[in-house]
Amino acid sequence: MKIFYAVQATGNGHISRALEIIPFLEKYGEVHVFLSGNNYGLNIGLPIVYRSKGLSFQYDSTKGSIDLKKTFKSINFSKIWTESKYLPVEKYDLVINDFEFITSLACRIKGIASVHFGHQASFRSKFIPRPQKYNHVSEWFIRNFVKAEHTIGLHFKHYDPTIFQPIIRQSILTAKPSTHDHVTVYLGHYGISTIFNNVKQLKDIRFEVFSKEVMHVHTVEHVTFYPVHTERFTQSLLTCRCLITGAGFETPAEALYLKKNMMLLPVQGQYEQLCNAEALKEFNVPILDGFTENFYAQLLQLIETSPNNLWELKDTTSSIVQHVVEKGIGTIRMSDRPKASDQTVNKITSEVFSTNDEQMSHTNVG
């Protein structure tokens, strides 16, 4: 069996998940990865056959928020359309899509069934936590960015029969956590100067900061800066007193599994992170709107508090992958459905984006 696996490369979470599940997928057949996006910091160890700049959020590293102007400026809509036409999803027996728009569009153009798998897929359920201030535009976007015949979501709890628990890295599952004297910081949406200016007053606390801005390990006073490096970050997380991070999915899930206290600073304006933060309130995780006035008091209190979450992991990576494959194999390929016309393709694309004629170019996927 030939398996097409589309991986969104906005941040590191999708890539980390792919690295864990591909060895299990390879038990079912040959896996080809389509990596889409350029906003990540990990060294890639995936069987990448297709690559695209895709769509990636761009951040304002001072405010810790999405820079919408920079994000839309970075998108070549015409190229995305062209890549969708040429992406050969029809050559595969199973298409798995981890929140990747080009693959979704390609499948709709060519009448190919697919499985939407991952954290964003859980937003198809009305039962996952949402913030008190419901954002209709963001909700519509995250629910419609990827279209698929089957949806299998991942979240912190089994909010719905189609939702499984997070996939935890094997290096975390087999590790023995301990408590040293440092605080681990992973805030990819903030620049290192902003982070340093907000932790430098806490001179009695040692910080280990991980950032893609850092090229080599160096220490400034009581703060050590590290490049984004999987093994080094894992060691820091395993031994930290607590974690300061955004309201993503994979890293908070690992902290829950390790029974580590954490503080979340969600990306401002990113609805998914606000939803994650709402879900994590149930586990007594403090949520801050950035480096606010009470940041110092909250952090000192967190350091002195014993972890009290009762989160337990019951789903295994093997069982989740098996479920994804069975769903995909059980889906009848829609090969008898006629391919979409250019007019229909344009309509599909405009459901999420408006094309920009000035950016028209014809380039193959790669």
Please state, in angstroms and as integers, the Cα–Cα distance from residue 86 to each residue in 39, 134, 366, following that order. Answer: 23, 37, 11
pLDDT for 43 equals 55
Q: Which residue has the higher pLDDT, 176 or 56?
A: 176
Residue 64 has pLDDT above 60, yes or no: no
pLDDT at 45 over 80: no
Instruction: Please give the average per-residue pLDDT across 310-324, as a whole number.
Output: 94
Give the per-residue pLDDT at 62: 62
Q: In the predicted model, is pLDDT for residue 330 greater than 90? A: no
Q: What pLDDT sits at residue 247?
A: 96
More confident residue, 219 or 293: 219
For residue 121, what is the DSSP state?
G
List the one residue out of 124, 118, 50 whose CA is nearest residue 87. Answer: 50
* For residue 364, pLDDT beyond 90: no
pLDDT of residue 356: 33
What per-residue confidence (pLDDT) applies to 110?
A: 93
| Residue tagged 């990636």 (tokens) | 56
**Average pLDDT for 135-140:** 88
Q: What pLDDT is attached to residue 55? A: 65
Distances (CA, A) of 289 to 209, 247, 264, 269, 295: 19, 11, 9, 11, 9
In the Cβ-directed half-sphere of 9, how many Cα atoms lie within 13 Å? 22
Q: Hey, what domains does the chain have and what are their CATH numbers? A: 2-167+316-359 (3.40.50.2000), 170-304 (3.40.50.2000)
DSSP state, residue 196: H
pLDDT digits (tens, 9 = 90+) for 80-126: 889 999 999 999 999 999 999 999 999 999 999 999 999 999 999 99
pLDDT of residue 76: 74
Q: Are strands 242-245 and 182-186 parallel, antiparallel or unpaired?
A: parallel
Give the tokens for residue 131.
Answer: 């913030």
Amino acid identity of residue 55, one-letter, is L
Distance from C-alpha of 311 to C-alpha of 309, rounded to nearest angstrom? 6
DSSP summary character for residue 221:
T
Taking alpha carbons only, the member of 237, 146, 170, 231 closest to residue 19 is 170
Helical H segments across the chain, by residue range: 13-25, 68-73, 77-86, 101-110, 136-144, 170-173, 192-199, 230-239, 250-257, 271-280, 295-304, 317-329, 342-350
DSSP 258: T
59/200: higher pLDDT: 200
> Which runs of consecutive H residues, i.e. helices, occur in 62-174?
68-73, 77-86, 101-110, 136-144, 170-173
Taking the C-alpha atoms of residue 137 and residue 167, their distance in angstroms, rounded to an integer, is 29
- pLDDT bin (cut points 50, 70, 90) of residue 283 is very high
Neighbours of 107 (CB within 10 A): 25
What whole-number percentage of the chain has pLDDT above 70? Answer: 83
CA atoms within 13 A on the CB side of 1: 15
Comparing 152 with 329, which gets the higher pLDDT? Answer: 152
Predicted pLDDT of residue 40 = 60
**Using 50, 70 and 90 to split pLDDT, how confident is the model at 6?**
very high
